[in-house]
Structure 1
Amino acid sequence: MHRRTALSVSAALLVAAPLLSACSGETRPGTAAVVGGERITTSALQDQVNDVRTAQNRSEQAAQLVASTPNLERLKLNKMIQLRVLEKAAKDAGISVSTKEVEDFREDAGQDGGARKLEQRALAQKIPLAPGQIDNDIRFTLLFGKLSERFGKEAVLAPLAKASDALHITVNPRYGDWDVKQIALGDGETAWITQRTRPEQAPAGA
């Protein structure tokens, strides 16, 4: 139920978002992306990046962890947008995840080594998580699992495509363009993440 798959989706994307672009055509300062008419600010994105870097620098493998994630800003922005697409698709389908479900999943995931081990594994993922970001990642996992269970592994592409299209996603050119076919920032590096059965486990081949 909780395994995520690499997705490839064909959908049309409406491109102009007044919140992202000023009248001059330049990107509005302080905006990383606009999703569903709501801004993801560069400060909110930087907060996520800083939290990860702080956690990485506390690790005994600090240099290796930092060096392995040179494009952390783009990876984090990609995941932030994907979560909003997933939330939209889940809401449209009448699917939700409770706080208790997140807590139960986290408890189960932390049985192998406890909370500290869970945090270490989350930090070592391809898209690293600071301790305070783990619950959101679990929520992502559970929402995607429920959506896949409702529609099936192949048919789940349809509600995700519909949600992505409806949200009219635009991204600050500094971070790239939103690729609707991949539901991701378009360079192949940040395609819809091959998900894990547990958030502390890195995907195969990562």
Structure 2
Amino acid sequence: MHRRRRTALLLSAAIAAAAPLLAACGNEAHPGAAAVVGGQRISVAQLESRVQEVRAAQRAAVPDESQYQQVLASTSSLTRDTLHSMVLDRVLHRAAQDQGITVTRKEIQQMRTGLEQQAGGAKGLETAWLQKYGVAPERLDDNLRLQIEAQKLAQTLGTDTTEPAFWKALSTASEELNVDLNPRYGAWDVQKSSRVDAKTPWVREVTASGTQQTA
């Protein structure tokens, strides 16, 4: 179980620090879309709904107003980070599919049980994933599926989630999916394999809670 935990944390750290080799044209061909992945839209409404899930969980976990404002300040990039994760989830799923990898409900439950034991219970695990990775409780199982897919993909490739071979597989999958990112949320730097801010400083993001963040 320690190996699984290390894999989960490594992947989460990698997601936060880097992205696969994505090319995004970010045009107006898909109005109302935050991104288009494999011809399927991630709408702005879907993105805002996902962000609101996290904000609601944060609000419930931190009822003190001043502390909650500190949480908001420390997670000011939540909208873009959430979109990043939503896109990367689909890319990783495609990479896993390309290798014939599947994840069962039993595997997800086994990982969750082990992590809950380490975190001191279900609530402890939900709180840890919310605070460290911005994952709302209702999305925890989906995130664990992502972690297991990453673990299996790395094992199949004979590498781990921090090595170039792993990210090359994601690059191939992203090319197959032809990711198109709305520039208000940034862009993907193909050479650096990381998200970069689009050069539109006047653009403002408005979350579902009404909090404005600099794009």
Query: Hey, what does 1:52 align to over in structure 2?
Result: 54
Amino acid at match of 1:89: A
Amino acid at match of 1:106: R
- Answer yes or no: is the 8 Å Cα contact 1:35–1:169 preserved in 2: yes
184, 187, 204: which one pairs with 1:177?
187
Where does structure 2 lack aligned partners over 5 or more consecutive residues? 198-215
Deviation at 1:183, TM superposition (A): 4.8
Secondary structure of 2:61's match? coil
Secondary structure of 1:124's match? helix
Provide TM-score, normalisation by structure 1: 0.77
**Percent identity of equivalent pairs:** 38
- Answer yes or no: is the 8 Å Cα contact 1:86–1:140 preserved in 2: yes
Secondary structure of 1:80's match? helix
124, 128, 141: which one pairs with 1:121?
128
- Answer yes or no: is the 8 Å Cα contact 2:153–2:166 preserved in 1: yes
- Answer yes or no: is the 8 Å Cα contact 1:110–1:117 preserved in 2: yes
Which structure shows the higher helix fraction? 2
Distance 2:49 2:55 in 1: 10
Distance 2:89 2:189 in 1: 15
- Answer yes or no: is the 8 Å Cα contact 1:10–1:181 preserved in 2: no
Secondary structure of 1:156's match? helix
Where does structure 1 lack aligned partners over 5 or more consecutive residues? 23-27, 188-206
Query: Hey, what does 1:75 align to over in structure 2?
Result: 81
83, 87, 97: which one pairs with 1:91?
97
Distance 2:145 2:192 in 1: 21
61, 65, 75: which one pairs with 2:71?
65
Amino acid at match of 1:159: A
Question: Pairwise CA RMSD of aligned residues?
Answer: 2.3
Deviations 1:21-74 (A, max 9, x none): 33xxxxx33200011111111111111100000111112343332221001110
Query: Hey, what does 2:175 align to over in structure 1?
Result: 165
- Answer yes or no: is the 8 Å Cα contact 1:10–1:161 preserved in 2: yes
Distance 2:108 2:87 in 1: 20
Amino acid at match of 1:162: T
- How many residues were matched structurally? 178
30, 33, 42: which one pairs with 2:32?
30
Amino acid at match of 2:46: A
Amino acid at match of 1:114: G
Secondary structure of 2:144's match? helix
Distance 1:59 1:12 in 2: 35
Secondary structure of 1:96's match? coil
Deviations 1:93-148 (A, max 9, x none): 000111111111111111131111111111111x3111111111111111111111
